Amino acid sequence: MTDAATSFRGRVARYDVLVPPPADGSTRARLGRLELPHGVVDTPQFMPVGTNATVKALDPLDIEATGASIILANTYHLYLRPGHERIARLGGLHRFMSWDRPILTDSGGFQVVSLGDLRVVDDDGVTFRSHLDGSVHRFTPEHSIAVQEALGADVAVAFDQPVTPSSPLDVVADATARTHRWAERSLAAHGRGDQALFGIVQGGLDPNLRASSAAFIAGLGFDGICIGGLAGDETPAQREAAIDVAVSALAKDPRPRYLMGLGSPADLLEAVDRGVDLFDSVLPARVARNGTLWVPGGKLNLRNSRFLDDAAPVQEGCPCPLCTRFSRAYLAHLFRARELLAYRLATCHNLTFTLDFMLRIRSALRAGTFPASLPELRLHAGPLSGREAAEKSA
Amino acid sequence: MTDAATSFRGRVARYDVLVPPPADGSTRARLGRLELPHGVVDTPQFMPVGTNATVKALDPLDIEATGASIILANTYHLYLRPGHERIARLGGLHRFMSWDRPILTDSGGFQVVSLGDLRVVDDDGVTFRSHLDGSVHRFTPEHSIAVQEALGADVAVAFDQPVTPSSPLDVVADATARTHRWAERSLAAHGRGDQALFGIVQGGLDPNLRASSAAFIAGLGFDGICIGGLAGDETPAQREAAIDVAVSALAKDPRPRYLMGLGSPADLLEAVDRGVDLFDSVLPARVARNGTLWVPGGKLNLRNSRFLDDAAPVQEGCPCPLCTRFSRAYLAHLFRARELLAYRLATCHNLTFTLDFMLRIRSALRAGTFPASLPELRLHAGPLSGREAAEKSA
């Protein structure tokens, strides 16, 4: 553990690779431990998303019970409503939402370009219209950092310009170069002493752009490296190739690697195998609210009438509040009656399933049996990638 | 406690009046203890409503934390969806919804005439259309009892024909006479040995009809007496007069008296003072979901923008999950963002407030200070009657 390549000491964050990838190259997966101001995050790890300072349908005790140790909140949403300055006046995001464990805020870059109605990107920043009321706003790297400092999460993220993976090469190249300049400005603007700052690698699906972006971002003094611009319209093979390029460029870098936006267990497993440490996604919660419950090997659609008479729990042995106390029949009834309790119970389950899956991955890594356990873990994750899971439950 | 007039021993239910009304006539309020198969209900007591086998937005642990000891479920809704026979096959209502404390089911009579699209009442029963899909159904006293026996609550209720309080006298008289015949048929049809059966007094606002209905129902072998056909379009004074007539007719009757459908703290207090022991209403939960939070002396409308910067809890000292952990500012934000957590937290609070209010009433009754405490209890309840509370929060 004293090897410089398996340990990082930042101003605020510490990261230790407890079990590095084996020398035989059978996997790049690694077990790690990220120390942040509000607690420890064991990696590989998944972060539930609390867009509006609430993981939809759950309270903080529910989130804790899923096994989550860190959550993500969206800077764009909180900036617009209720406002970062208001949250700061109320004591910061942790106190506002009554969650005293680690939080990461994204930069707002993704939402600005994906939700904002107007999107004028110039070299200084992005002008956009609020998706709530059409009002015009402007984010620059400096402003994104100021907003995130006001929110006060454990980890802030540099402002970037993500583009759809399938974008033309010149669009990707332009956005990647701008992301690099904004990374430097984000770093220069950041001053909060109790908050880590992660940089974002872009580069789309082009190996050269992706590799040079990873090298550029790794050359700056961030506390962690985000891999952005994926989990979009790429195929799993394209995504895995892009991860391989980025992780290769970061192979000797001890800082945590965070692939933004990926959420199906099958996708998480492949990304872990390629060396990714951190993830976030709305997927487990979103499909849960649509009635899709994840179980070992697949999923159940609780809107299907065959569950109305099924006295079994959604998943035998699952410790979540749904499976320990209610039947599939009851949950199917709640969904049909559009009762609010359905959304909470289903979300508790899918997040518990996802976080338990990450725990299984970490156990295999700790035991040194991850490569051998891959077939079993793949069976447990089920066949669906995130895009399929989202489309089939929509 | 051995006085026959303060103790009732039914096949299934026991009711003891622990503190009878004082001889000076200053109040008819009384402290009681109702024993049912799934537990004890201290009276005066309020029953949260779990229409679709769920108190909207809450899970059973939330319900328990509000202080509730008994809940009401709606026979009409559960008959239509998911079906009483299905619930019976799944082990009954307690198991289905994972609530192992007392439950009361209503008869369906009120919903049949208030929600059903078609309502043909004849002497044998009521034919109606489902509000869900327009399908045609028929309830008779015998069928209502069969449905309630299948659901398996601790308390079933005789099938009645409620009418709006302001209905013409001949309509009220007709419905009251029919309710009496149906009460006898309900009693004859009921056979479940682990379920109590309550009868319903009707009679509208007419003193003679109300008094004779109370006397008639009290003459039958029920385990408790419901006072129906109120909590509608009557004024508080009309309601209180009708309660006085009914309770006078029941003054020497030891069985519990249950006024159906009343829910604002101010209304509950006046009814308790007039001798009512049990209540149910959707009001506390419904206004909560609209953003109206009950506090000592009044209410807060959390949709008002002034709460967005209010760091105080909704009610200082309240033990509910909202007040112990979140600010008014956070709840106001959740309501604006239409986040599901808002509905749960607000419901927890209003039910906690209501059940705590009943506890305050019982404490005063136990101490023998209820009449002297009435001014303070009225201040605590706030100025609003149920109709005002519902209209102002709509």
CB contacts, 8 Å: A53 with chain B? 330, 333
Contacts of A45 (CB under 8 A, 6+ apart): A34, A69, A70, A277, A278, A279, A358
Q: Please say whether the beta carbons of A386 and A259 come within 8 A.
A: no
Q: Tell whether the torsion through CA atoms of A365, A371, A375 and A378 is positive or negative.
A: positive
Sign, Cα dihedral of A322, A323, A324, A330: positive
Token duo for residue B125: 């029963």
What confidence score (pLDDT) does residue B115 get?
Answer: 77
The token pair that represents B261 in the structure block? 């459908």
Is B253 a residue of the active site? no
Q: Provide the residue count of chain B.
A: 394
Q: Which residues contact B101 (CB under 8 A, 6 or more apart)?
A: B38, B39, B64, B68, B69, B70, B71
Cα angle at A84 between A80 and A88, to 5 degrees? 160
- Of B53, B308, B337, which has the smallest distance from its Cβ to A333's Cβ? B53
Phi, psi of A191 (to 5 degrees): -135, -10
- Count Cβ atoms within 10 A of the Cβ of residue B306 and give its class: 0-12 exposed, 13-18 middle, 19 or more buried: exposed
Neighbour-count burial of B280, counting CB atoms closer than 10 A to its CB (0-12 exposed, 13-18 middle, 19+ buried) = buried
Residue A294 has pLDDT above 60, yes or no: yes
Residue numbers in B near A337 (CB within 8 A): 52, 54, 81
Q: Which among B82, B308, B340 has the least Cβ separation from residue A57?
A: B340
A340 vs B90, B309, B344: nearest CB:
B344
Least Cα separation, residue B235 to chain A (angstroms): 33
- Helix then strand then coil, in percent of chain A rounded to 5, is 45, 20, 40
Q: Which of B90, B337, B340 sits opposite A340 (nearest CB)?
A: B340
Considering B62, B106, B154, B277, which one is annotated as catalytic?
B106
Residue A27 burial (CB count, 10 A):
17
Query: CB of B54 within 8 A of CB of A341?
Result: yes
Is the preceding omega at residue B284 within 30 degrees of 0, hence cis?
no
Selection from A245, A219, A236 nearest residue A227 by Cα: A245
Which residues have CB under 8 Å from B15's CB, separation 6+? B7, B8, B32, B33, B34, B35, B223, B224, B254, B255, B256
At A368, is the pLDDT very low, low, confident or very high (cuts 50, 70, 90)? very high
Residues of A with CB under 8 A from a CB of B: 52-54, 56-60, 81-82, 86, 89-91, 96-98, 308-309, 311, 321, 325-327, 329-330, 332-334, 336-337, 339-341, 343-345
- Per residue in A111-120, pLDDT (tens digit) is 888 876 788 9
Contact criterion met (CB < 8 Å) for A56 and B340:
yes
Q: Do A57 and B333 lie within an 8 Å CB cutoff?
A: no
Mark yes or no for CB contact B345/A309 under 8 Å.
Answer: no
Q: Give A113→chain B minimum CA distance, Å.
A: 21
Please write the tens of the pLDDT for every residue from A80-113. 999 999 999 999 999 999 999 999 999 998 888 8
Evaluated on CA atoms B92, B96, B97, B98, the torsion sign reads positive
* Nearest CB partner across the interface for B56, out of A98, A309, A340: A340
Residues 6+ apart with CB under 8 A from A30: A17, A19, A20, A21, A43, A275, A277, A365
The torsion angle over the Cα atoms of residues B37, B42, B43 and B49, rounded to 10 degrees, is -60
The two tokens of residue A338 are: 């559009």
Look up residue A61 and give its two tokens.
């005790």
| Helical ranges in chain B per DSSP H | 60-65, 75-80, 84-89, 93-97, 109-114, 141-151, 169-189, 207-218, 236-249, 265-273, 283-289, 321-325, 328-336, 340-367, 370-381, 386-393
Q: How far apart are CA B236 and CA B385, in angstroms?
A: 8
C-alpha distances out from residue A80 to A77, B148, B194, B236, Å: 5, 50, 56, 45
For residue B5, the model assigns a pLDDT of 64
| Local structure of A373: helix, strand or coil | helix
Contacts of A327 in chain B (CB under 8 A): 90, 96
Q: Which residues contact B259 (CB under 8 A, 6 or more apart)?
A: B226, B227, B230, B231, B243, B271, B276, B278, B279
Of the residues A106, A253, A267, A273, which is catalytic? A106
Contact B327/A90, CB-based, under 8 Å? yes
Q: How far is CA B334 from CA A84, A98, B308, B343, in A?
A: 15, 13, 10, 9
Per-residue pLDDT of chain B (394 residues; tens, 9 = 90+): 334 468 999 989 999 999 999 999 999 999 999 999 999 999 999 999 999 999 999 999 999 999 999 999 999 999 999 999 999 999 999 999 999 999 999 999 888 888 767 889 999 999 999 999 999 999 999 999 999 999 999 999 999 999 999 999 999 999 999 999 999 999 999 999 999 999 999 999 999 999 999 999 999 999 999 999 999 999 999 999 999 999 999 999 999 999 999 999 999 999 999 999 999 999 999 999 999 999 999 999 999 999 999 999 999 999 999 999 999 999 999 999 999 999 999 999 999 999 999 999 999 999 999 999 999 999 999 986 777 677 666 5
pTM as predicted: 0.97
Question: Which residue among A58, A81, A321 sits closest to B336, beta carbon to beta carbon?
Answer: A81
Question: What residues of chain B lie within 8 A of the CB of A332, using their CB?
Answer: 82
Q: CB–CB of B269/B370 below 8 Å?
A: no
Q: How far is B60 from chain A (nearest CA, A)?
A: 10
Which chain A residue's Cα is nearest to B333?
A: A82
What pLDDT is attached to residue B113?
80
Q: Is B223 a catalytic residue?
A: no
Query: How far apart (Å, rounded) are the C-alpha atoms in residues A56 and A53?
Result: 9
Rounded to 5 degrees, φ, ψ at A178 are -65, -40
Taking an 8 Å cut-off on Cβ atoms, the answer to whether B330 and A96 are in contact is yes
ipTM value: 0.97
- Sheet with B155-157, side-by-side order of all strands: B45-48, B278-281, B257-260, B224-227, B196-201, B155-157, B103-105, B71-73
| Cα distance between residue A158 and residue A189, in whole Å | 10
Chain B residues bordering chain A (beta-carbon distance below 8 Å): 52-54, 56-60, 81-82, 86, 89-91, 96-98, 308-309, 311, 321, 325-327, 329-330, 332-334, 336-337, 339-341, 343-345
